[in-house]
Every structure is written in C-alpha cells, then in structure tokens.
Amino acid sequence: MQDMQDMVFKGTTTVGLVCKDGVVLATEKRATMGNYIASKRAKKIYQIADRVAMTTAGSVGDAQFLARLVTVETNLYEIRKEEKATVRAIATMLSNMLNSVRYFPYFVQLLIGGVDCREAGIYSIDPIGGAIEEKEVVATGSGSMTAYGVLEDRYSPEITADEGVKLAVRAISSAMKRDSASGDGIDVVKITKEEYTQLKPEEIDEILKSFSKK
C-alpha cells in the first residue's frame, strides 16, 4: 500500500530573505502526490496581516488550514491588544499552535516573514513548533539545497528588497531546474514598511528574461 505521506499534496521550494529595507518571500507553484503532479497552481504564500506573510512547504491541506487559523488568531490578537501584532508575536502564536499537537503533527515547514514597528524579520517554524529567527536567508522544501547554493553565493546584508526579489527569483528558478517536485511558475511577495506587494506574473517573467541576457 502506498505510504500515507505520499498521498498528500507536497513538494516545494520556498525562500526568504531579510533585506535592509524589508523582507522577500518566494515559492514555486507545483504540488505533487508521490510521483504525480497534482497541481500546477498551488498557493504557497498567504498574507497573514498587513505586513506579514507565510510560506508553506509540505501538505497543502495542512498548510491551508493553518493559514486560515493563524490569520483569524492574528486578527483576534490585534482586536484584544488594540495594536498590530509583531512578526515575532505571530511566529510565537503559530509555534504554540503546532507544539500543542506535536504528537499528531501537521506535515508542514513554514516561514513567517514581514515588517513591523520594530524591524523586518523571518522565522522558520518546523512541524512540532520549533521556531528559529533567520537573520539573513532561509530556504525550505525539497529544492532547498539548490536554492541555498544560489542564496548564499549572492546574498549581502546590504541587499535592498528590490534586489532581494531578483535573488529570490533566481534561487527558485535554479531549484525548479533540479528538483522534480518544484516547478510551474513562481510567486514572490515583497514587504517593506510602506507596502505589501505581490509581484505580477509578467514582472517575474521580465526578471527571468534579464538572467538569460547576461
């Protein structure tokens, strides 16, 4: 009988970059079920708050549920506290949710990233709630090793969010070429103190074309 973990939609590459003026999060769009490509339009970046997003790697169903849950909990937090939730607070909230069900874990690896009144930050959260603050770059999922090779070769702490977008696209594109569970397009979110921006497909295509010209 096919292993239960092979029967859920999974397989991903996600990356996150902390830039001097914000953060960048990026994913590809393929969801796999074993060796079968189950979807070419899987959503793997979710806006959680005004300036906070979450990327997901792993089970699509688990990721969708957690995205809905943490969005609701963040809204309740802001109503009760009468202030915007920080990136750290949202990451801690999500960490506690996952830790509370650690004996029956969700099959996910998450990144929470954004900008608040204090700083820009990204947190990597594992299936049982372990949360690590990432100071520079991070990659998750089946294509993460390839993505890390690109990120660590080209990243600088002085990189701007606009430059970070290009680097994130390059990292995801490289992973898609080597990892069969990653592919079918790229989603990118750029978050600064001024705005939350989801790049349009044509903008990403222009960035990809610029690589081929060099």
Residue 12 catalytic? yes
Torsion-angle region of residue 58: left (phi > 0), alpha (psi -120 to 50) or beta? left
C-beta separation of 45 from 55 below 8 A: yes
pLDDT value of position 180: 75
Per-residue pLDDT 10s for the chain (214 aa) are: 334 344 344 568 999 999 999 999 999 988 777 677 767 788 899 999 999 999 998 888 899 999 999 999 999 999 999 999 999 999 999 999 999 998 888 989 999 999 998 889 999 999 999 999 999 999 998 888 999 999 999 999 999 999 999 999 999 999 998 877 777 889 999 999 999 999 999 999 999 998 876 5
The dihedral sign for the CA sequence 149, 106, 112, 14: positive
One of 12, 14, 27, 56 is an active-site residue; which one? 12
What residue spans define the domains of the chain?
A: 4-212
Can you identify the CATH homologous superfamily of domain 4-212?
Aminohydrolase, N-terminal nucleophile (Ntn) domain (3.60.20.10)
